[in-house]
A and B are shown apart, each in its own frame.
Chain A
């Protein structure tokens, strides 16, 4: 219910939202939790395992109970904390993990069966009969498991990722962070102040005290006004710093659009990488619950949450509120509630010497031992000394002390340090280089001390940056101290169903931790996995310390000796969509388009991905219904008239200098220093381990100038390799390399009429010898002409500067069509080269040597080259090697690449495996299937019939082994 005159929300505006299909009203500034509370809704979820009714436990991102699904745009975001989700007009949310409804959940039967569902129950049950595991148990458990659900549809919303740089990153905008940011900003540092809240101010927003004579929240607002006016300050609200990484890098998740109805183009979230010279951790502290019997009922929450709901949201969860604490901060909450006119049923203070002097009942040296009220608290049982009595209450605030939010300081393999005086873990110093913890995050709980520490931490940081800290101007504030006396759990009464909860989110109780220790899982890491304590969405924020305190107790160790588990980023969940922003679908990698792209698409060519490039697969003509019809026609066209294909994607590298030839001799197996100017030569390039890296043709354009080509796939790889060889082994050589792949649009023109076509540009008959290269003028453009062929026909490649590529392509096609030819695509290109036994990276796949592809003679005996030494290692040549062969089916039968080869009559087993098929194609030229592959001792087995088996696609075919060159073995067409 709302308390008049309280809260920082805007009550002048009303908003409507839906929860589980029912409409409720709220105000701007409300969270779903605070608005439901105002509407008297107590039940917000069902627990993970036992499906117990649950209410809101906290007022922050550490919430373990009130997990909801947000429904937007036909999508569903699960496990959203109702304490974080802001209400907007038209928001629709629903509870999780219950069927058919929150009020009536069938799986609550698990609570009845609780004694069988202790820690690790699934290791001890569901084992018999064996067959039932896969058929019954596992599907049933899988259906029951989990919390929220996804919609199953792709997430097509917009997300962002961004970088930010600064001098000082201040994490948390409570009193400590505000002072730190102010101090650094006034000194001229570039400051980023990040806070996970919708509004900055942290604990001050729930505090009724005074700072510098102003209300705490007002003081915070005035500091923020000053910070907002400074150009060297960036304020990032709704931004959780999720992780500390090496070298001053922090990850942060900003909720950009989750607090409003979805809008076109508005990102939902932005994942930031913040690189900073120094950082101040001012992330505050989180309150601890206390474990006692039935401490998980709706209406039971943290005392600080009660305070936040009252002072910030103007709402209370009940009308008779009890509090149970081992420290003074809950007392402040009780006073705030009392001052607002709320009835305090009792303050139950576990400390023997606690003061009872309050305008409401105080029971000192007392504990809560039980509660009642399944769908909402009705009473608590108090034990004081030897007596027990009930107190009627419809809400209970718990305060078991405070845990400094140390997480970020532990992300680089650090562990926090136990401080007995405050019964809490605090950060180890210098656990993250450049990060200073201050304020409650460091274990300092008084407001006055927090303000001072924030200023001091910033001063240390900026002095390290060479800036002068301004004179500290710390306003006066309360100097309170919680005076916590450790209290972890109250033993439950005997009884199988009597449980005290530690981890609310994963339904882990004190019994589970004890069982874990009893069964030998005594290390905190084992206890965590065995019980699943600390593995839920809250990542143990509400249970880690209490659980390890209990574990320490039952294993006879002290808390420091028991230790903590490893803290890892992220601090709160980060959606993968945010981390991968922009990377969905085509955004995953750059798209590379050819100058012929539009013309190809205009002709209906389907485009396929070749690395990052888009290349035409085939050019369908009217009447053709399958790719194969087009492909067969294009192959015949190239072999009978002329075809044009865009081959611009192949890597091209310009290599210059007086040591250029020497350099090529080092990286290629064969000799290039002997190549005459105006000629090209096929070259083979090895990796240093003797495997083939790439092949290509390189042309000598001048004495000191070469143009190397690479395959499309390996262009980047070869460039990197050349850079390495040059920088590592060629110190002082005059050789300079630069990629010119992008600079030239290059087209293959192949077929019996290729020469005629190209001659029509020049007005005279082309007279270029096979493997020659020459400059050529096409109208107004200076280009290059190469006589090389990948098709086996008389072939050329004509290159012009890329800006003319589209124009030349269209013009080439027009001329080709006049001659009865036309464009051909990747499918035909592949068939043509298979017919000629030419290799691609399907054959030189990284485990193949020059010997394997029959090119051992290309490795010059007269010089060293990269890979030569290693290629001579035993086992990389000889009859045991799988050597490249051609394959043809005997009779009807389809060849498939990836199929394996066996001796005819041998069983198709791994032991009998003799090789595999790498490339296949239907050859319209030879009217049969052709394949290239590798076969043990293949070159000695031409003519033999072997067995090809494709287990995946179900082919079992006899093939004849042959030379890989099927068509025009002598190469007469090439050289004519």
Chain B
């Protein structure tokens, strides 16, 4: 598996650490209910298809990336820096979420 780090270029999967879904980017605000935290930590979609994951370029530039890939075809559709513009905002509305 080769991941296209936006800074370093296409690199072997060995250089990266996999964290999980990009759901981790949408942190509940201060004072959020325990249910919100439970959902943030534990509830995930499990698509047979396109997913967005978080990968850390551990032995590279140490950037965190959001990688869009297809779990069925293994095609990697793209990778963006987590710390790109406008990150750190709450999740956009209409996001597909398991209840």
Touch test A–B (CB under 8 Å): yes
Residues in A lying within 8 Å of B, measured CB to CB:
245-249, 273, 275, 412, 688-689, 719-720, 723-724, 726-731, 864, 868-870, 872-874
Contacts of A873 in B (CB 8 A): 34, 37-38
Instruction: Decide: A729 and B17 in contact? CB cutoff 8 A.
Output: no
Question: Number of A-B pairs whose CB atoms are under 8 Å?
Answer: 74
Contacts of A869 in B (CB 8 A): 28, 30-32, 34, 36-37
Contacts of A727 in B (CB 8 A): 63-64, 81-83, 87
Closest A residue to B27 by beta carbon equals: A729
Q: How far is the CB of B60 from chain A (nearest CB, A)?
A: 12
Contacts of B38 in A (CB 8 A): 873
Task: Answer whether residue B50 sits at the interface, using C-beta atoms and an 8 A cutoff.
Answer: no
Q: How far is the CB of A531 from chain B (nearest CB, A)?
A: 31
Instruction: Decide: B88 and A728 in contact? CB cutoff 8 A.
Output: yes
**Can you list 24 contacts pairing A with B, beta carbon distance less than 8 Å?**
A245-B1, A246-B74, A248-B2, A249-B1, A249-B2, A273-B12, A275-B12, A688-B40, A720-B17, A720-B58, A723-B62, A723-B64, A724-B19, A726-B83, A727-B64, A727-B81, A728-B24, A728-B25, A729-B27, A729-B88, A731-B86, A731-B87, A870-B37, A874-B34
Bound state CA distance, A864 and B32, in angstroms? 11
Instruction: Decide: B74 and A412 in contact? CB cutoff 8 A.
Output: yes
Bound state CA distance, A245 and B12, in angstroms? 12
Contacts of B1 in A (CB 8 A): 245-247, 249
Residues in B lying within 8 Å of A, measured CB to CB:
1-2, 10, 12, 17, 19, 24-25, 27-28, 30-32, 34, 36-38, 40-41, 54, 56, 58, 62-64, 74, 76, 81-83, 85-88
Closest B residue to A723 by beta carbon equals: B62
Residue in B32, B37, B63, B88 whose beta carbon sits within 8 Å of that of A731 in the complex = B88
* Contact A247-B2, Cβ < 8 Å, known A689-B41, A873-B38: yes
Contacts of B82 in A (CB 8 A): 724, 727-728
Closest A residue to B14 by beta carbon equals: A273
Contacts of A719 in B (CB 8 A): 62
Bound state CA distance, A248 and B2, in angstroms? 9
Closest A residue to B58 by beta carbon equals: A720
Contacts of A275 in B (CB 8 A): 2, 12
* Contact A720-B56, Cβ < 8 Å, known A247-B76, A731-B83, A731-B86: yes
Q: How far is the CB of A877 from chain B (nearest CB, A)?
A: 12
Contacts of B40 in A (CB 8 A): 688
Q: How far is the CB of B7 from chain A (nearest CB, A)?
A: 12
Contacts of B31 in A (CB 8 A): 869
Q: How far is the CB of A323 from chain B (nearest CB, A)?
A: 45
Closest B residue to A247 by beta carbon equals: B2
Q: How far is the CB of B6 from chain A (nearest CB, A)?
A: 13
Q: How far is the CB of B59 from chain A (nearest CB, A)?
A: 11
Contacts of A273 in B (CB 8 A): 12
Contacts of A872 in B (CB 8 A): 34
Knowing that A247-B1, A249-B1 touch, tell me 13 more A-B residue pairs with CB under 8 angstroms: A245-B1, A273-B12, A275-B2, A275-B12, A688-B27, A727-B81, A728-B27, A728-B83, A731-B83, A869-B32, A869-B34, A870-B34, A873-B37
Bound state CA distance, A601 and B41, in angstroms? 46
Instruction: Decide: B86 and A688 in contact? CB cutoff 8 A.
Output: no
Instruction: Decide: A870 and B63 in contact? CB cutoff 8 A.
Output: no
Contacts of A246 in B (CB 8 A): 1-2, 74
Instruction: Decide: B56 and A724 in contact? CB cutoff 8 A.
Output: yes
The 4 A-B pairs at the shortest CB distance, nearest first, are namely A727-B83, A247-B2, A731-B88, A864-B30
Instruction: Decide: B41 and A688 in contact? CB cutoff 8 A.
Output: yes
Instruction: Decide: A723 and B56 in contact? CB cutoff 8 A.
Output: yes
Closest B residue to A729 by beta carbon equals: B88
Bound state CA distance, A688 and B37, in angstroms? 9
**Most chain A C-beta atoms within 10 Å of own C-beta, residue among B19, B28, B40, B82:** B82
Residue in A726, A729, A870 whose beta carbon sits within 8 Å of that of B41 in the complex = A870
**Most chain A C-beta atoms within 10 Å of own C-beta, residue among B24, B27, B28:** B27
Contacts of A729 in B (CB 8 A): 27, 88
Contacts of A868 in B (CB 8 A): 30
Bound state CA distance, A689 and B37, in angstroms? 8
Q: How far is the CB of B41 from chain A (nearest CB, A)?
A: 5
Q: How far is the CB of B49 from chain A (nearest CB, A)?
A: 15
Bound state CA distance, A412 and B74, in angstroms? 9
Contacts of A724 in B (CB 8 A): 19, 54, 56, 64, 82
Q: How far is the CB of A714 from chain B (nearest CB, A)?
A: 14
Bound state CA distance, A727 and B58, in angstroms? 14
Bound state CA distance, A249 and B76, in angstroms? 14
Closest A residue to B31 by beta carbon equals: A869
Q: How far is the CB of A113 from chain B (nearest CB, A)?
A: 48
Q: How far is the CB of A236 from chain B (nearest CB, A)?
A: 20
Contacts of B12 in A (CB 8 A): 249, 273, 275
Contacts of A864 in B (CB 8 A): 30
**Most chain A C-beta atoms within 10 Å of own C-beta, residue among B25, B37, B74:** B37
Bound state CA distance, A727 and B24, in angstroms? 12
Q: How far is the CB of B40 from chain A (nearest CB, A)?
A: 8
Bound state CA distance, A315 and B48, in angstroms? 56
Closest B residue to A876 by beta carbon equals: B34
* Contact A728-B34, Cβ < 8 Å, known A246-B74, A720-B58: no
Closest B residue to A245 by beta carbon equals: B1
Contacts of B63 in A (CB 8 A): 727
Bound state CA distance, A731 and B25, in angstroms? 12
Bound state CA distance, A873 and B33, in angstroms? 9
Bound state CA distance, A256 and B87, in angstroms? 51
Contacts of B17 in A (CB 8 A): 720
Closest B residue to A867 by beta carbon equals: B37
Bound state CA distance, A90 and B37, in angstroms? 69
Q: How far is the CB of A866 from chain B (nearest CB, A)?
A: 9
Closest A residue to B69 by beta carbon equals: A246
Closest B residue to A412 by beta carbon equals: B74
Contacts of A249 in B (CB 8 A): 1-2, 12
Q: How far is the CB of B20 from chain A (nearest CB, A)?
A: 11
Bound state CA distance, A790 and B58, in angstroms? 31
* Contact A730-B34, Cβ < 8 Å, known A720-B58, A724-B64: no
* Contact A728-B19, Cβ < 8 Å, known A246-B1, A720-B58, A723-B56: no
Q: How far is the CB of A870 from chain B (nearest CB, A)?
A: 4
Q: How far is the CB of B52 from chain A (nearest CB, A)?
A: 13
Contacts of B36 in A (CB 8 A): 869
